[in-house]
Each structure stands twice: as structure tokens, then as C-alpha cells.
Homo-oligomer: A and B are copies of this chain.
């Protein structure tokens, strides 16, 4: 069932024939991740990128004061990885942790490169995915420098309504770059409106 979700996702951008589909399926592996289990920690070699078929993960960094800074959350139908580390094959600088019992499909860097060469359509697939990711990130950068925490919080609630129920206040605060106490204040203020 996990493979179907991946094939659906791929099928939204490119059309694969049977042979190409079989080749993709020959390169992927399924993996179950328990809640609070890590797929990656800083310093690890980042062999894989992951497509989430069930569950929820977060990717984050810890600064020298021990504060966690969340780069992104991922739920079903999303790709997630320490992309800088995966792409440049340098040691990871992020933690990748499951927030719920999670199922992923993983693909190795070398296998992804083989896939690009044998089925160049995947260049298009990942070109479009990276484009979309760039646009979403761009929006986040502009919001971080131009919007208040309250405005950014409201934006997330509106854009990703499913996340609010699945993400703890602590993690939401770490994503917004504010303290949990400040997020509580915001929520009380918004509830009173």
C-alpha cells in the first residue's frame, strides 16, 4: 500500500510504463520507525532520502544552547531528509525523528543517481518537487523576516490544518522560532478573539 502512495505521487508529475515502475520498485526499501526513533542524527552519514507513507516526522537542529530549531515536519505523501547532507554526501547536521509510529520508503543516493540515468523522467519529477520546495521555503524566509510570530502561526494553521492536531505545542514553537510560553500566550489571545 505504501508503494501505491509513492506511485500516485510520482504519477501526478510523470507517466511511468511497466518496466520503469518495476525498476523504481526494485530500488526502494520499506522501513518502520517507532515513535521517538531517529532515522538520522548529526554526524551520521545520510545514505537515504525518505518518502513517508504513514505517520509524521520532524527534522531539526540543536544549537549550542540546547535549543531545538525545526526545519520542517513531514507527513504521509511527503519526502523528507537532511537534504544538504544527502545531496552533498556530507555528515548530517540534523536530527530526523518520528513523532508518531511511521512508515517510510527509502532510496539510497547511488540508487537515485542510477534512476536518473535509466529513467530520465525522474529528473522532471524531482525538478518539479524541488521547485515546489523552493517556493515553500522562499515563502517561509520572507515570512520569517517580515511577519510577526502570530501572523506566521495563523498562516501555518490555514495552510496545513492537519498539522495542528498532530504536532505538540513545544514542536510548533520550535518551528516558529519562539518559546512554548509565547506560543501559549498567542493561542490564548487568538482563542479570545
Interface of A toward B, CB cutoff 8 Å: 61, 63, 67, 69, 71, 83-84, 87-88, 116, 120-121, 123-124, 126-127, 130-131, 133-135, 137-142, 144-146, 177
How far is A120 from B146 in the complex, measured between Cα atoms in Å?
A: 38
Q: Which of A63, A121, A124, A177 has the most chain B CB atoms closer than 10 A to its own CB?
A: A124
Copies of this chain per assembly = 2
- C-alpha spacing A140/B121, complex, angstroms: 30
A130, B134: Cα distance in complex, Å: 7
In the bound complex, do residue A137 and residue B135 qualify as a contact, i.e. CB atoms below 8 Å apart? no
**Could you say which residues of chain B place their CB within 8 Å of the CB of A116?**
124
Q: Which 7 A-B pairs have the closest CB atoms?
A: A145-B177, A130-B130, A123-B123, A127-B127, A123-B124, A137-B137, A69-B146
Chain B residues near A140 (CB-CB < 8 A): 141
A71 to B144 alpha-carbon distance, docked (Å): 11
Interchain nearest-CB distance for A170 vs B (Å): 15
Nearest CB on B from A85, distance (A): 10
User: How far is it, in angstroms, between the C-alpha of A83 and the C-alpha of B134 when the chains are bound?
Assistant: 9
Report the Cα distance A146→B134, complex, angstroms: 20
In the assembled complex, which residues on chain B have CB atoms less than 8 Å from the CB atom of A69? 142, 145-146
Complex partner residue of A138 from B83, B124, B131, CB under 8 angstroms: B83
C-alpha spacing A154/B135, complex, angstroms: 26
A131 to B87, Cβ gap below 8 A? yes
A87 vs B131: C-alpha distance when bound (angstroms):
8
CB-CB under 8 A from A83, the residues of chain B are 131, 134-135, 138
Task: Indicate which residue in B67, B124, B137, B139 contacts A134 across the interface (CB closer than 8 Å).
Answer: B137
- Give the complex CA separation of A145 and B130 in angstroms: 22
| Cβ–Cβ < 8 Å partners of A145 in chain B | 69, 144, 177
